Structure 1
């Protein structure tokens, strides 16, 4: 859960962190000192693109087997049995 959350939040927030670091060092050199609307919009757009890329990457590289028989979660003897994917038996 935490890994999935971080996998999507880090790419979204990364452009803001990079731009904040840029502003910090630019301020020390006497340059621009504030966030501007266009810069925030561009950072948001880049963050959304990076988040979409992370979603696609997670979907493509997910380690679950792609072939087999899905068995949904069920109750047996009063206990919840997790869902599983059984091998298809094609060998």
Structure 2
């Protein structure tokens, strides 16, 4: 659940948060900038780009191993706990 939030939602809303903070400090300094269509569009495109980038990074660092090793998690068999195993690629065949 946390991974889903970190890699999907946060990169998407981060540009909006950054721009909102910018508008807040601009308003405190006497500026008159507000949310406009162009700023929302740029924030949306930037957020989508960051989300896609995070998905590419997540896909490249997780999943099956590239060297062919296989992980077998621990399991119960006939009432006994069998430890986990890592089978190297050469022993797999």
Match of 2:49 in 1: 49
Match of 2:81 in 1: none
1:24-79 CA-to-partner distances (Å, cap 9, x unmatched) read: 000011212421010000000000001110000001111642324698xxxx88xx
Q: Which has the larger radius of gyration?
A: 2
Indicate whether 1:39 and 2:22 are aligned: no
Report the Cα distance in structure 2 between the residues aligned to 1:15 and 1:46, rounded to whole angstroms: 7
Report the Cα distance in structure 2 between the residues aligned to 1:4 and 1:86, rounded to whole angstroms: 29
Report the Cα distance in structure 2 between the residues aligned to 1:88 and 1:21, rounded to whole angstroms: 51
Q: How many equivalent residue pairs? A: 83
Q: 1:86 Cα deviation (Å)? A: 5.0
Report the Cα distance in structure 1 between the residues aligned to 2:3 and 2:48, rounded to whole angstroms: 18
Q: Which moved more, 1:17-26 or 1:7-16?
A: 7-16
Match of 1:80 in 2: none
Report the Cα distance in structure 2 between the residues aligned to 1:32 and 1:68, rounded to whole angstroms: 59
CA RMSD across the alignment: 2.8
Q: How does 1:17-28 map to 2 (within 5 A)?
A: 17-28=17-28
Match of 2:90 in 1: 89
Moved over 6 A (4+): none
Name the SS of the counterpart of 1:89 in structure 2. helix
Give the gaps of 5 or more residues in structure 2: 79-85
